[in-house]
Chain A
Amino acid sequence: MNYSAKVMDHFMNPRNVGEISDADGIGEVGNPVCGDIMKIYLKIDDNRIQDVKFNTFGCGSAIASSSMATELIKGKTLEEAWELSNKAVAEALDGLPPVKMHCSVLAEQAVHKAINNYRIANGLSPWDYKEHGDIHALAPDEQ
Chain B
Amino acid sequence: MSDNHVYLDYSATTYIKPEVLAAMRPYLDTYFGNPSSIYALARITEQAIGQSREQVAAALNAAKNEIYFTGGGSEADNWALKGVAFANKQWGNHIITTKIEHHAILHTCEFLAQHGFEITYLPVDSEGLVDVDSLRQAITAKTILVSIMFANNEIGTIQPIAAIGKLCREKGIYFHTDAVQAVGHVPIDVQAMNIDLLSLAGHKFYGPKGVGALYIRKGVKIDNLIHGGGQERGKRAGTENIAGIVGLGQALELATTDIETENQRLTRLRDKLIAGLTAIPHSRLNGPVGAKRLPGNVNVCFRFIEGESMLLLLDSVGVSASSGSACTAGSLEPSHVLLAIGLTHEIAHGSLRLTLGAGTTEQDVDYVLEVLPGIVRKLRNMSPLWKEFLNKGGTKL
Contact = CB atoms under 8 A, between A and B. Distances in A.
A139 interface: no
B250 to A, nearest CB: 34
Nearest to B316: A12
B349 A60 contact: no
A57 B383 contact: yes
Given A59-B306, A136-B332, A37 B385 contact: yes
B332 A59 contact: no
B306 A58 contact: yes
Contacts of B110: none
Interface in B280-314: 304-309, 312-313
Contacts of A32: 345-346, 349, 385
Contacts of A118: none
A35 B345 contact: yes
Given A33-B346, A35-B306, A60 B312 contact: yes
Interface string A110-143: 0000000000000000000000000010000000
B304 A57 contact: yes
Interface in A2-18: 3, 8, 11-12, 14, 17-18
A55 B388 CA distance: 11
Nearest to A66: B382
A39 interface: yes
Given A11-B312, A12-B316, A35 B382 contact: no
A56 interface: yes
B375 to A, nearest CB: 11
Interface in B169-184: none
B238 interface: no
Given A58-B309, A60-B308, A34 B332 contact: yes
Contacts of A62: 306, 309
Nearest to B383: A57
Given A11-B312, A35-B349, A63 B334 contact: no
B76 interface: no
B99 interface: no
Contact of A59 (B304, B325, B382, B383): B325
Contacts of A136: 332
B346 A59 contact: no
A63 B346 CA distance: 17
B116 interface: no
Contact of B387 (A19, A35, A38): A19
Given A32-B346, A32-B349, A35-B306, A59 B385 contact: no
A4 to B, nearest CB: 13
Given A19-B387, A33-B345, A35-B345, A59 B309 contact: yes
Name, among B305, B345, B349, the residue most crowded by chain A CB atoms within 10 Å (CB to CB).
B349
A1 B304 CA distance: 23
Contact of A34 (B316, B326, B386): B326
A66 to B, nearest CB: 9
B219 interface: no
A56 B346 contact: no
Contacts of A99: 330
Interface in A31-62: 32-39, 54-60, 62
Given A12-B313, A32-B385, A60-B327, 4 more contacts: A1-B308, A38-B384, A54-B382, A57-B386
Which are the 9 A-B pairs with shortest beta-carbon distances?
A59-B327, A32-B346, A59-B308, A55-B384, A35-B349, A33-B345, A39-B384, A57-B383, A60-B312
Interface of A: 1, 3, 8, 11-12, 14, 17-19, 28, 32-39, 54-60, 62-63, 99-100, 136
12 contacts: A28-B384, A32-B349, A35-B345, A35-B349, A55-B382, A56-B384, A57-B304, A57-B306, A58-B327, A60-B308, A60-B327, A63-B309
